[in-house]
Amino acid sequence: MLFARNHSTLRQKMVQNQIAARGIRNPRVLAVMRKVKRHLFVKPQYLSVAYKDGALPIDCDQTISQPYIVALMTDLLELTPTSKVLEIGTGCGYQTAILAELAKEVYSIEIIPLLAKNAKARLDGLNYQNVHLKKGNGHYGWQEYAPYDAVLVAAAPKDVPKQLIEQLAMGGRMVIPVGGSEQKLLLIQKGLQKEENAIPPLETTEVIPVRFVPMTGRTK
């Protein structure tokens, strides 16, 4: 019980000191960051630092993102309880769980088989029934269930994959890190078509410099 109470206290401090103090104000985002137990998604040797201000290693040379970055990317999507979300890069499933708490449906793709297997077991064990997982190349998105109100990409391609833009609903928002040795987090907003068959306008905003693992795979 003491172990559980300690983690609860650390989680509250994480939100106060790392997230709210850096300008995240959305009450739904703050509430879900307080709720989802990050220590359940890290490797056993990192339990003591599960709520520290930084990324941590997971299997297959990948990482679980810094809590602030998870909160920031989630906040930028402006999710509602009716949102349908596409996530590229399931990883350990922590960001997936955050999205699942805020949206109606989450479709998440992971290219690394071990990560996909472990994330499914973890999220199933936590009874997330609105999460749909598959192993695949995130460059191509998940056309079967498109369009998506929001797209979150948790690995950095050199350029924004056109398939993800195509699968974003009109009026939708995408958050994606882009670049090589230097990366920037982008918010891409897809406007509404003003005329039939017209190309919907895109508005791209550079948010902050970031460091994500490279997106595996190539576009066609």
Q: Which residues are catalytic?
A: 65
- Cα 190 from Cα 51, distance rounded (Å): 34
The answer to whether 63 and 121 have CB atoms below 8 angstroms apart is no
Q: Which residue has the tokens 């850096």?
A: 22
What the block records as the tokens of 122 is 């973890």
**In this structure, which amino acid lies at residue 64?**
I
Exposed, middle or buried, 37 (CB in 10 Å: 0-12/13-18/19+)?
middle
**φ, ψ of residue 156 in degrees (nearest 5):** -100, 115
Q: Return the H-helix or E-strand segment holding 171.
A: strand 168-179
The answer to whether 142 and 107 have CB atoms below 8 angstroms apart is yes
C-alpha distances out from residue 115 to 29, 57, 159, 181, Å: 25, 12, 24, 24
Q: Which residue has the tokens 């985002």?
A: 29
The answer to whether 111 and 136 have CB atoms below 8 angstroms apart is yes
C-alpha distances out from residue 127 to 47, 80, 93, 100, 130, Å: 22, 20, 13, 11, 9
